[in-house]
Structure 1
Amino acid sequence: MTPKTTLTAIAAAALAATTGLAAIPALAHQHGHHASTPAAPTIVDVAVSTGVHNTLVAAVKAAGLVETLSSPGPFTVFAPTDTAFAKLPAGTVATLVKPENKGTLTGILTYHAVAGKVTSSDLVKLIKSHGGEATLTTVAGGKLKARLSGDKIVITDAAGRATAVTQADVVTSNGVVHVTDGVFLPA
């Protein structure tokens, strides 16, 4: 990690809320919005509008991260779809969104966010320059491993679960979103 990446990680830690809204950028990308457009949607705006990130949006709201993920950032959010959340054991999401589990939920959501804007080409360069695997530090302080599998970027979480990026580089006014087919777990 470069000093710039480390500083970005520190900044992201201050804005831990961004993780929950990773799914929103997908919509912005699909509608042709660009970060340079003054009225470009935030990560949260995009997530709310996609129709496939309802679980993520509910989790972001339950964790109180809407304001953080709407802040200037920038953030890189790995946004699991509703289908990705549905792969978790039955009852997991319902338990996590309960008020008494806000801390755990916040930790999981911020484990999906990295400080700064990291595009897929940035990730590929990091992977190649680090011998085929790059380590990313999340806003939550955890580690994610990124590698290539063919032409897909695959992220492995602390639990050893591999998740593919299914849509990369959804640009928002406050960062970039990479849609994933799985949920990252810190352990």
Structure 2
Amino acid sequence: MKLIKSLTILSLTGLIFASCGEAKKEEVTEEVVTVEEPAEVIETPNIVGVASGNADFSTLVTAVGAAELVETLSSDGPFTVFAPTNAAFEKLPAGTVETLLKPESKDKLIAVLTYHVVAGKFEAAQVIEAINANNGKFEVATVQGGKITLSLVDGKVVLTDANGGKSIVVIADVAASNGVIHAIDTVVMPK
């Protein structure tokens, strides 16, 4: 009988210890770690990407492709592009755009397009400051090698090309990763 009592006490003691161990296991709280996902980084596209994303520049984008200037205008730069809108191209004499887009006109097309590009990034405030600091006119050298004269008329930046043709900046400071675009209302032409 003593043996049975001893075994019973040992069994009960074992159960008590076992249940205490389980109780301790239940008391352990789980630590929840939340990992925040990094915010999506949206990069500003380069000049070609910005122009491609705007329907008002579709003629310019087509011309840049035909002239094989996509890689150049996608490079580090920085560049300032005086970008003619589709309406600017429509002001050219009938058939001009079609002729420029032909493979045999590639050199002329490159000359026209690079005449709209200036090395360096010049935002509107800098352009206006340069015009004012130079007695109302500021001449810039284009990537094509020619010059464009910038001036102010009624508070708007006006480009005067080598032939005396004029164009007005209609939208300024369109940011790109490799420079800035200023939309113009007329295609400017080199000599």
Same fold (TM over 0.5): yes
Indicate which of 58, 80, 83 corresponds to 1:54.
Answer: 58
Give secondary structure in 2 for the equivalent of 1:182.
coil
Tell me the distance in 2 between the aligned counterparts of 1:109 and 1:38. Answer: 29
Which protein, 1 or 2, shows the higher relative CO under an 8 Å CA cutoff with sep ≥ 6?
1
5 Å matches for 1:29-178? Answer: 39-178=43-182
Normalised TM-score (structure 2) = 0.77
Residue by residue, what CA displacement relative to the aligned partner does 1:43-71 show, whole Å, maximum 9, x if unpaired?
A: 10111110011110010000000001111
Tell me the distance in 2 between the aligned counterparts of 1:69 and 1:174. Answer: 8
Unaligned runs of 5+ in 1: 1-36
Partner letter of residue 145 of structure 1? T
Deviation at 1:38, TM superposition (A): 6.3
RMSD, aligned CA: 1.0
Residue by residue, what CA displacement relative to the aligned partner does 1:133-183 show, whole Å, maximum 9, x if unpaired?
A: 000000001000000011100010011111100000111100000000000
Partner letter of residue 173 of structure 2? D
Residue by residue, what CA displacement relative to the aligned partner does 1:106-152 show, whole Å, maximum 9, x if unpaired?
A: 00000000000011111111111111100000000100000001110
Indicate which of 159, 173, 183 corresponds to 1:179.
Answer: 183
Q: Look at both structures and tell me which one has the larger radius of gyration over its CA atoms.
A: 2
Deviation at 1:40, TM superposition (A): 1.1
